[in-house]
Structure 1
Amino acid sequence: MLAILGITAPIFILIGIGFLCCSGGIVSREQAGGMGRFVITLALPALVIKALLEHPLEAVINWNYMLAYGAGSLASFAVGYAIARWGRRDSPGGAALAGLGSSVSNSGFVGYPIVVMVIGSPAAVALALGMMIENLLMIPLALTIAELGRRQDGSVWQALGGTLRNLVRHPVLIAITIGMVLAILDIRPPAVLMRVIEMLAMASAPVALFVIGASLTGLKVGAMYTDMAQLAVGKLLFHPLLVMACFLLFPVDDPGLRMAGVLMAAAPMMSIFPILGARYGLEGRCAAALVATTVVSFLSISLFLWLLH
């Protein structure tokens, strides 16, 4: 247990530092937001490009990993959606967001920093593969269902088209495309540019954790305990357990990559979850769930580290 705490404690200490700095006025929420945009726009894309260029393409594109992680995420989404829509009589938009919160991890800000401490550099490969699943499958699926529930005309193609137009401009997806093209053509950037990419990539984990802590400042939990409980259990327990089960259906030879997939799934939901919820008037619920899962994930991630070891 002490070894597990040695891995997880520094992560949450950095999150705590971000929270204290923001709540104490050292850093404002606006400044923390700028740091978050730095991570999303520059640091994480640099990390993805670095991972795709440092590893042989056949080692990066692991189809069984993508099938297992994708199937586990879809199963977790379905459970979360079904409980919210038919068990708790939620709206289609609310149920879609419940499914999204149960199946899409904060891979860049929490999952990657933890996984890299456990397995080292291969964590960047797991990050790139996981983000393909999240950005190309899970987020479009959830937002399309939510938009269909919101639109009067119920046009599937309009809802899907609007979602895809936003996704194709995502910096991480652009980075994945650039990295894949360079890897396929066997082109390597000049040494100076590669060094810049490496420096940006190294900044991603600590800055991301600091931003997560700062973003928790001032969020109101309120009385949404049922919503918080469903999302916390779905995200922190069902999602990693379902991904772990899917690795039995789609075996992955590399034990480090299997561990990375489960730990990525055990991370709390993505930090932009409240921002997505705001479009449907559910930012309070989403923010409360983000606070709860981020705090409780200290225990759940430690549990899965113990199980995997």
Structure 2
Amino acid sequence: MAGIETIFSLFLLIALGYLGKRTVLSGQSLVPINIFVFYFAVPALLFNSVYQLPLDSFFKPVYLAAFLFGTVLTALTAALGCRFFFAEKNNEVLTIRALNGTFSNYAYMGIPLVYGLLGEPGYGALISIILLGNVFQIGGAQLLVEIHRQEGKGVKQVLQILDRSLLRNPIFVATFFGVLVSALEISLPSLFSTTLDMLAPATVPVALFCLGASLEFKTLKESKAELFWLVVVKLLIHPLIVLATFTAAGLDDQNWLLAAIFLAALPTGALAHVIALKYDIKEKESSLTVVLSTLISVVSVSLWVGLLL
């Protein structure tokens, strides 16, 4: 019951953001709030969590490999479904479809969800999977599109993509330096650690409020069968496959298992839409996937939580 109450409290914060955008907030007023969340609050929470954990608590290669394998299988399922059910033959489009069906809303929903449900014991898995998602899903999708467009020319373009998708990503940078401080067992000055302790708690409510404010449901009337297929893949097939890979591998760390399934069960993250927009590949459809999966996840994520907790 506690898990269900937690998940509904998270969605209530999303609802407040949706209401706020349509009553007292303007579109421009949300820009600095989103900047605060993405560049300050989320990195502070991630860094603050990582540097205090022993390195072996979040670096578990077998668990990460199981999650990655399950995600790759899900991406293939999404792409093959679009290829055979909806006659989509363009490789760039299939890449974006696979991203829509596997990339979760790690930052805005994953962090508060796992923190709210599992607390500190789930942080090691949370941090590792977020890092994995940014490296292999966002970075990998961009690499595939770039390689297809450039027909494999040179490595300079590949390095530029890695730079833009990782090295300038505050979530990746904060996590990396948190890992570095943890590995070197560096003791932070009290002024710095106190500031982080003040800033990090703002992540959960503000991130969910911003997510709610960004939702636009009026465009759902344009959705098609392919959109619903991707939503089913994201909310149902992805967590099922991740559960199957963990079970088949005999991995029994409950914190990692629950964190992995909850993260896989989340709706499509907004970064998938950003990538679609950047390359002008089915941008509207990607936006709709984010919106519809977020709406339906109110029920689906609650069911996953109820089943597993």
TM-score over 0.5 (shorter chain): yes
Q: Note the alpha carbon deviations across 1:233-275, whole angstroms, 9 max, x for none.
A: 1110111111111112344443122111100111111123322
- Asked if 1:255 corresponds to 2:243, the answer is no
How far apart are the structure 1 equivalents of 2:221 and 2:285?
Answer: 9
How far apart are the structure 1 equivalents of 2:160 and 2:83?
Answer: 24
1:123 and 1:260 in contact (8 A); partners too: yes
1:108 and 1:127 in contact (8 A); partners too: no
2:93 and 2:281 in contact (8 A); partners too: no
Aligned partner of 2:70: which letter? G
1:93 and 1:280 in contact (8 A); partners too: no
Instruction: Name which of 37, 56, 71 aligns with 1:73.
Output: 71
Matched with 1:304 is 304
Q: Note the alpha carbon deviations across 1:141-175, whole angstroms, 9 max, x for none.
A: 222223344x2645374653332121221111111
Matched with 1:294 is 294
Aligned partner of 1:47: which letter? L
Matched with 1:42 is 40
How far apart are the structure 2 equivalents of 1:245 and 1:272?
Answer: 26
Structure 1: 5+ residue runs without aligned partners?
none
Aligned partner of 2:284: which letter? G
Quote the RMSD (CA, aligned, Å). 2.0
How far apart are the structure 2 equivalents of 1:128 and 1:16?
Answer: 26
SS at match of 1:72: helix
Q: In structure 2, do the counterparts of structure 1 residues 32 and 184 end up closer, same or farther at CA, with 3 Å as the change threshold?
A: same
Q: In structure 2, do the counterparts of structure 1 residues 53 and 153 end up closer, same or farther at CA, with 3 Å as the change threshold?
A: closer
How far apart are the structure 2 equivalents of 1:108 and 1:123?
Answer: 15
| Number of equivalences | 306
Q: Note the alpha carbon deviations across 1:51-105, whole angstroms, 9 max, x for none.
A: 2222111112122221121111111111112222343232222211110111111
Structure 2: 5+ residue runs without aligned partners?
none
Q: In structure 2, do the counterparts of structure 1 residues 13 and 175 end up closer, same or farther at CA, with 3 Å as the change threshold?
A: same
1:48 and 1:172 in contact (8 A); partners too: yes
How far apart are the structure 1 equivalents of 2:167 and 2:62?
Answer: 25
How far apart are the structure 2 equivalents of 1:234 and 1:159?
Answer: 31
2:92 and 2:281 in contact (8 A); partners too: no
Deviation, 1:11, is: 0.8
2:4 and 2:305 in contact (8 A); partners too: no
Matched with 2:182 is 183
SS at match of 1:14: helix
Q: In structure 2, do the counterparts of structure 1 residues 155 and 30 end up closer, same or farther at CA, with 3 Å as the change threshold?
A: farther
Q: In structure 2, do the counterparts of structure 1 residues 218 and 28 end up closer, same or farther at CA, with 3 Å as the change threshold?
A: farther
Matched with 1:273 is 272
Per the normalisation by structure 1, the TM-score is 0.92
How far apart are the structure 2 equivalents of 1:5 and 1:160?
Answer: 43
Q: In structure 2, do the counterparts of structure 1 residues 121 and 219 end up closer, same or farther at CA, with 3 Å as the change threshold?
A: farther
Q: In structure 2, do the counterparts of structure 1 residues 264 and 156 end up closer, same or farther at CA, with 3 Å as the change threshold?
A: farther
Q: Note the alpha carbon deviations across 1:15-74, whole angstroms, 9 max, x for none.
A: 0100011022x1222322322222221111111211222211111212222112111111
Deviation, 1:227, is: 2.9
How far apart are the structure 1 equivalents of 2:160 and 2:98?
Answer: 20
1:57 and 1:183 in contact (8 A); partners too: yes
Matched with 1:160 is 158
Per the normalisation by structure 2, the TM-score is 0.92
- Asked if 1:124 corresponds to 2:123, the answer is yes
SS at match of 1:54: coil
How far apart are the structure 2 equivalents of 1:134 and 1:213?
Answer: 22
Aligned partner of 1:192: which letter? L
How far apart are the structure 2 equivalents of 1:120 and 1:256?
Answer: 10
2:273 and 2:286 in contact (8 A); partners too: yes
- Asked if 1:209 corresponds to 2:208, the answer is yes
How far apart are the structure 1 equivalents of 2:131 and 2:70?
Answer: 14
Matched with 1:21 is 20
Q: In structure 2, do the counterparts of structure 1 residues 218 and 226 end up closer, same or farther at CA, with 3 Å as the change threshold?
A: closer
SS at match of 1:220: helix
